[in-house]
Amino acid sequence: MTTVSLGAGPANARDPLSLIFAALADPTRRAMLTRLRQGPATVSEIGEPFAMTGPAVSKHLRVLERAGLVTRGRVAQARPATLRAQPMQQVAEWAEEFREFWDQRYDRLDDYLHTMSDDPEDQS
Amino acid sequence: MTTVSLGAGPANARDPLSLIFAALADPTRRAMLTRLRQGPATVSEIGEPFAMTGPAVSKHLRVLERAGLVTRGRVAQARPATLRAQPMQQVAEWAEEFREFWDQRYDRLDDYLHTMSDDPEDQS
């Protein structure tokens, strides 16, 4: 496998955790999930604070739904969206596995600054 | 703003947390970060378990670097990659804000099953 996916591959070819991370890689979708913490909402309710069209909201909701972060109601007209936060637990648990390394961040910052000081002419 | 980004937009136009989530939305990149928990590694060391070419590894590393998840050394030949886990803390903290909802998951599953039972002819 020598190809490199930058997150633009076909969504149905991807593993669950990749689908979740890709769904969260958008500030509007993250804001929608935060909105849904207040309770289920319809497409027009969700779109309002973003001044977004219904089709644009629906497209974002489909991405969230595919990742398991949202379920939609069955009533044809409204189909209110409901938060499903269980995938968030997977995200948190995956990130938590790196906790020992983020706790070491000051040591690592020291290392990094030391590396930089080896090259005093660096302009960036 | 009515456009919908599915994670394929120009990386430099994106906010830090979106860059981090997009970088994590690939199983190979997540496996690379797990590998780097053992310590800094060169491109060829990182590529070995994936049978991946150097350029493909470098491309993945650039995505991780842009998200702040990896730093590269300065030595031209080797440029060993080092894990920087601080962005992972942001990911964990963001996901943790949803903890109260994933703790309620059985209630919500009940709600969901109740919704489904309203429509007994559903085939899926």
Is the CB of A44 inside 8 Å of chain B's CB atoms?
no
Provide the 8-state DSSP code for B74: S
Q: Tell me which chain B residue has its CA closest to the CA of residue A24.
A: B21
CA quadruple B100, A67, B22, A100: dihedral, nearest 10: 40
Contact B27, A15 (CB under 8 A): yes
Per residue in A45-60, pLDDT (tens digit) is 999 998 899 999 999 9
Q: What is the mean pLDDT of chain B?
A: 81
Q: Tell me which chain A residue has its CA closest to the CA of residue B35.
A: A98
* pTM confidence score: 0.74
Nearest Cα to A35, choosing from B13, B101, B108, B105?
B101
CB proximity list for B63: less than 8 A, separation 6 or greater: A6, B11, B22, B23, B26, B29
Tens place of pLDDT for every residue, chain B, 124 residues? 444 444 444 444 689 999 999 999 999 999 999 999 999 999 999 999 888 999 999 999 999 999 999 999 877 777 899 999 999 999 999 999 999 988 765 555 556 566 655 544 444 4
Residue B95 has which token pair? 């996901």
Is the CB of B108 inside 8 Å of chain A's CB atoms?
yes
Give dist(CA B89, CA B82) in Å, integer: 17
Give dist(CA A37, CA A98) in Å, integer: 27
Mutation pick from B12, B15, B18, B24 vs chain A, by most beta carbons of A within 10 Å, is B24
Buried/exposed code over B87-121 (b: 16+ C-beta within 10 A; e: otherwise): bbbbbbebbbebeebbeeeeebeeeeeeeeeeeee
Per residue in A66-107, pLDDT (tens digit) is 999 999 987 777 789 999 999 999 999 999 999 998 877 555
